[in-house]
Amino acid sequence: MRKIVAGLFISLDGVVEAPDQWHFPYYNDEMGAAVDATLGAADTLLLGRRTYDSFAGAWPDREAAGGEDAPFAKKLGDARKIVLSHRPLQFTWRNSEQLPGEFVAAVTALKGEPGGTIGMSGSVSVVRQLLAAGLLDELHLLVHPIAVRSGMRLFEEGEEAIPLRLVSTQTFTTGVLNLVYAPAPAPGQVGYDEVKGHLAQPTP
Order of strands across the sheet that contains 44-48: 96-98, 80-84, 44-48, 118-121, 4-11, 138-144, 177-183, 164-171
16-38 per-position pLDDT tens digit:
999 999 999 999 999 999 999 99
Could you tell me the pTM of the whole model?
Answer: 0.93
For 4-198, CATH number?
Answer: 3.40.430.10
Domain extent listing, the chain: 4-198
Element holding 52 (H helix, E strand): helix 49-56
Longest dimension (CA), the chain: 73
Proportion of the chain above pLDDT 90, given as a percent? 81
